[in-house]
Amino acid sequence: MNADELITKADLLQAKTDILKALSDLMNRSGTMPKKWLKSNEVMEMLGLSSSGLQNLRISGTIPFTKLGGLIYYDNEDISRILEKNKRNKPA
C-alpha cells in the first residue's frame, strides 16, 4: 500500500461531515411544501382523469378553479379536501 492510499482519521471525519450534509440537504428538499396552485395537466395526472373528465368536474362545480389569462388553476388544498370528503370505507 502506498502512503498516498492511506486514509486518515481526518479523512473519515470529513467524509462523515459530507455525508451528513448531503443527507440533510436531501431531507430538506423532500420536505418542501407542496405547490399551492396546480395546472390542469397536474390535476389530471394526480387524479387519473382525462381533460374532458376534469372539465366535467369543473362544470358540475365539484372542483373549484381559478381562470387567469386563459389558464386554469386549482388550489392543491381544495383537491385534498375533496378527496378526503369523498373517501369511502366500503366499495360503492
Task: Name the residue with higher pLDDT: 13 or 67.
Answer: 67
In a domain, 18, yes or no: no
Domain span at 43? 37-85
46 CB burial (10 A radius; 0-12, 13-18, 19+): middle
The stretches of 1-92 forming alpha helices (DSSP H) are 9-30, 40-47, 51-59, 76-85
Would you say residue 1 has pLDDT above 60? no
d(CA 28, CA 24): 6
In a domain, 55, yes or no: yes
Q: Would the pTM count as exceeding 0.85?
A: no
In a domain, 27, yes or no: no
In a domain, 14, yes or no: no
Overall number of domains in the chain:
1
d(CA 26, CA 20): 10
In a domain, 1, yes or no: no
In a domain, 24, yes or no: no
Would you say residue 42 has pLDDT above 70? yes
18, 54 Cβ separation under 8 angstroms: no
In a domain, 78, yes or no: yes
In a domain, 64, yes or no: yes
